[in-house]
Amino acid sequence: MKIQKILQNRDIFSYTKKNEALIVDRRKEFESNLDIEKTLEICSELCREYVSDDGEEINDVVGRIPNENPFAELYHNPK
């Protein structure tokens, strides 16, 4: 398995080395045509809130912004 992975990496490296100039040119072309507004629009569509109707209490856990430190009060006041 390791030998196969090494050979794959070697193939990728040699392909990249052969096409280095083309890759650099395409990257420059891509970076020169960036449309920030379009990129933000695409990102906002990917991150839009998903409303689940499965009855679960916990939905959209990843999209929530947690408190800075939810345990700070417990740490300072350990009653």
| CA–CA distance, 35 with 75 (Å, rounded to integer) | 46
* Chain mean pLDDT for the chain: 75
| CA–CA distance, 13 with 7 (Å, rounded to integer) | 10
Domain spans of the chain, in order of start: 1-47
Three-class secondary structure assignment of 19-38: CHHHHHHHHHHHHHCCCHHH
Q: Does the pLDDT value for residue 56 go beyond 80?
A: no
| CA–CA distance, 46 with 22 (Å, rounded to integer) | 31
Query: Comparing 45 with 76, which gets the higher pLDDT?
Result: 45
| CA–CA distance, 47 with 62 (Å, rounded to integer) | 10
The answer to whether residues 59 and 51 touch, using CB atoms and an 8 Å cutoff, is: yes
Q: Does the pLDDT value for residue 62 go beyond 70?
A: no
Q: What is the pTM of this model?
A: 0.33
